[in-house]
Structure 1
Amino acid sequence: MAASFNDALSSILGWVSIACWIVVYSPQIYENYSLQSGEGLSLIFVYVWLLGDITNMTGAILAGLLPTVIILGVYYTLCDLILLFQVYYYRWKARKNSVTEGETTPLLNTVNNHQNKDEPLSSTQKTVIRYVGALLFVVIIGVLAWWISSNIEIPEKPPKHRSSSLTWAVQILGWTSAICYLGSRIPQIIKNFGTRCEGLAPALFFFSILGNATYSLSICVKSMEREYLITNASWLAGSALTIFLDLVVLSQFSYFRYMAIKRVQAVLPLESSS
């Protein structure tokens, strides 16, 4: 009974994680489109993340994982390429416009275009409501996907025997992917000190944290046996440590937003007195 409950809970968490990863890129893609700029992103961040997705997808193929997992790996890779395309396209477009108009315009505004300076509290409340709604959405989608999958009978295939060399190859790819996911955050964190996180969508890192947390929990809930944890160690390490770095990015968002509000509050009395 306990085992079946753990399996069901692990499956639900896994589907919630997949739902998070499906939507994780969309906030940043939309942010780039809205600003007509991709300068909030570190190119090294995207390139290293792309390498992590490619190695992760290759490991899934060699390990003979479910087709859905492989399809998701392809989807992640395509999303990385879309982000890279946006950055280079909007840079080309900005250069073209500067030549046409005879002047250059800043790629990023000092104040976020989507934030009303006069209503910081209202903006914060809307953000909280939006994120709570997004959280409920991915949880509902994850549970619904689990329910559908649990009611579809799929014939079980006998596990394929892996050679020791293939096992090592999968492990190496898994650890390479984990290192890439971790390393990708460092250049983005450094870039944020210069851009003050402008042009960067916090939802990207919010969904990344939620996706990694539910993925790690899905592994641990399924089994805490030593051999099982060692087999999944690279994915666990990559997910758990990436959460920490994503929290650093979100803390940067909070800090720079707080400082922006303080600057606005300091300027408003001066404007009203004049």
Structure 2
Amino acid sequence: MVCRCENRDYNKFIAGVFQECVSGTTGVVSFIFGWISICCWIVSFLPQIRMTFLMKRSEALSAAFIMCLVMGDLFNLISCFLLNQLFTQQILSIIFVSFDAIFIFQHFYYLRPCNQTESKSITFKVSESLLYGFIVVLIINNVLWSGFHNQFGLKLQETVYDICKTPKELSTKSAQYIIGNVMAYGSLPMYLASRPGQIIKNHKRKSAIGLSVGMFSTTAAANIAQLISLFSMSQERQYLIQKIPYVLGCSLPAICDIIIVIQWFMFSKIDKIRNCKSQPSEEKFAICQLSNETTESTVGISTAITSDLIK
């Protein structure tokens, strides 16, 4: 439902679509990056869910990664609603838990021996890409249409709309505030413990098979966008102190996500070499042979240049 704000310089487009009172450049920037983060989180887990479903294999994801992620997201969900956090943060917490449920189901279902069936191709088909593109265009079109339409209505007859509800301030001594902060800080070690488990498993496997680089690159972007949103909202000392668990919960996992992306590129090359050597067909043998010859010639040229320089 469309609502109006008491502050006269509020953004009518945002109020008309999202029923939030946002004013000033920093507020709008924070809101935009908050929703960029939400969009990234919405699509971030889909590549891994899709890959696991098509390959019928779930050993790529660490069990520690999944379990720590679930516990962290549950604590985060509770804290966001108890502490009346930003609407974008509350939406994110619900999305997290929803995807966690799918991850848990896939992980244990595809670990069963009877479900280790032959996998399908994980490459995107044209029809599938067109479907995703159509959904994105449809959502953006609806948001823009609703925003401009409601914005026009607020400019013409602002007084006919109700005032937007704002979160109530909590007393720092109330049980709700204390429990919410305990849950918020409790989610931090869970998030921090999730990524190292995945990094260690990737290092032990020395393989990127079954691991989606799309998931971790998008979660890194989502964490960075959420971090920008938090800092853009306010730079006041008291605000930043309250946001410490959320700032750490965004920044540190983002660093680990970048490390996992680097691992994926490193181990993908190793997987290609293994796959090339395991296939005895003449075509792939020729490709491997050409690759080896190119490598040897490169090393030989480098050695010759080095020798000339030494002389």
Sort the TM-score into its range (normalised by shorter chain). 0.7 to 0.9
Segments of structure 2 that go 5 or more residues without pairing to the other structure are 1-8, 10-22, 155-160, 278-283, 291-311
**Does 1:14 pair with 2:34?**
yes
**Does 1:176 pair with 2:193?**
no
**Does 1:96 pair with 2:99?**
no
**Does 1:81 pair with 2:91?**
no
Q: Structure 2 vs 1, CA of residues 59 and 37 (structure 1 numbering), >3 Å: closer, same or farther?
A: same
Displacement after TM superposition at 1:18 (Å): 0.9
Q: What is the CA–CA distance in structure 1 between the aligned matches of 2:253 and 2:234, rounded to whole Å?
A: 22
Q: Structure 2 vs 1, CA of residues 74 and 156 (structure 1 numbering), >3 Å: closer, same or farther?
A: closer
Within a 5 Å distance, the mapping from 1:146-161 to structure 2 comes to: 148=147, 151=151, 155-157=164-166, 159-161=168-170
Displacement after TM superposition at 1:249 (Å): 0.3
Q: Is the 8 A contact 1:60 1:69 kept in 2?
A: yes
Letter in 2 for 1:79: F
Identity %, equivalent residues:
27
Q: Structure 2 vs 1, CA of residues 179 and 81 (structure 1 numbering), >3 Å: closer, same or farther?
A: same
Q: Structure 2 vs 1, CA of residues 207 and 108 (structure 1 numbering), >3 Å: closer, same or farther?
A: farther
Letter in 2 for 1:253: W
TM (normalized to structure 2)? 0.66
TM (normalized to structure 1)? 0.74
Q: Secondary structure at the match of 1:224?
A: coil
**Matching residue of 2:176:** 166
Q: Is the 8 A contact 1:108 1:199 kept in 2?
A: no
Of 61, 72, 76, the match for 1:41: 61
Within a 5 Å distance, the mapping from 1:174-253 to structure 2 comes to: 174-195=184-205, 196-253=207-264
Letter in 1 for 2:99: C
Q: How many residues align?
A: 241
Q: What is the CA–CA distance in structure 2 between the aligned matches of 1:68 and 1:13, rounded to whole Å?
A: 10
Greater RCO (CA < 8 Å, at least 6 residues apart): 1
Within a 5 Å distance, the mapping from 1:73-152 to structure 2 comes to: 73-92=93-112, 95-96=113-114, 114=122, 148=147, 151=151
1:69-93 C-alpha deviation (Å, 9 max, x unpaired):
545423321211111111211122x
**Does 1:268 pair with 2:285?**
yes
Displacement after TM superposition at 1:45 (Å): 0.6
Q: What is the CA–CA distance in structure 2 between the aligned matches of 1:55 and 1:269, rounded to whole Å?
A: 54
1:85-108 C-alpha deviation (Å, 9 max, x unpaired):
11211122xx236xxxxxxx7x89
Segments of structure 1 that go 5 or more residues without pairing to the other structure are 98-104, 116-122, 124-129
Letter in 1 for 2:195: R
Displacement after TM superposition at 1:46 (Å): 0.5
Q: Is the 8 A contact 2:38 2:91 kept in 1?
A: no
Displacement after TM superposition at 1:24 (Å): 1.6
